Structure 1
Amino acid sequence: MASGRNQVIALYRMLIRESQKFPSYNYRTYAVRRVRSSFRENMAVQNQKQLEELLSRARESLSVVRRQVSVGRLYGAQKTIVEDGGPQ
């Protein structure tokens, strides 16, 4: 089970890192929040079959996030007030 745990943690870290690459603040914060909540929600799963299904779904989500980050970089995103540090 330790290798399964390490696999889950590595996948979680990859999803968080990729989500933080979104150029848009709103997409970035939404993606990070969804990753965290999804992993917390399924933290107590013990069934091996269900765990494999969740890992498979997370890998698919990782590939979707990577594609969306690439597409997002093609189009310039304006920085919001939150990112700029507010009005001077």
Structure 2
Amino acid sequence: MPGVTAPTRRQVLSLYKQFIRNSNQFNNYNFREYFLSKTRNTFRENMNQEDPKVLVNLFKEAKNELGVLKRQSVISQMYTFDRLVVEPLQGRRN
């Protein structure tokens, strides 16, 4: 791929924020925490990647995964779940 341009830091941070925002949309605590954790770990693992080709592929793959996450979070909002004991109370942060 000649002339491969890696995504900018701003693009990557924007993508990360979208993952966090959409992960927080899940009504189910377990799904929400799983996707938040997975997002943080994935971005942390690739934080020091410098190869433009690899970065372009990671960015494309992440955008595809974001589309799936968005669809699943919308589906999750269609259902209600009982709150779990481990979930913090509304308005209280521990």
Q: Do both share a fold (TM > 0.5)?
A: yes
Q: 2:65 aligns with which of 27, 44, 61?
A: 61
State the 1:75 CA deviation: 1.6
Q: Deviations over 1:15-56 (max 9, x none)?
A: 011101100000000000000000000011111111010001
Q: Which amino acid in the other structure matches residue 17 of structure 2?
A: R
Correspondence list, 1:60-79, <5 A: 60-79=64-83
- Judging by fraction of residues, say which structure has more helix: 1
> Structure 2 regions of 5+ residues with no counterpart?
90-94
Secondary structure of 2:82's aligned partner:
coil
> Structure 1 regions of 5+ residues with no counterpart?
none
Q: State how many pairs are aligned.
A: 84
How far, CA to CA, are the matches of 1:83 and 1:51 in structure 2? 36
Give RMSD over aligned pairs.
Answer: 1.5
Verify: 1:24 aligned to 2:66, yes or no: no
How far, CA to CA, are the matches of 2:84 and 2:53 in structure 1? 43
The percent of aligned pairs where both chains have the same amino acid is: 36
After TM superposition, the score normalised by the length of structure 2 is: 0.83
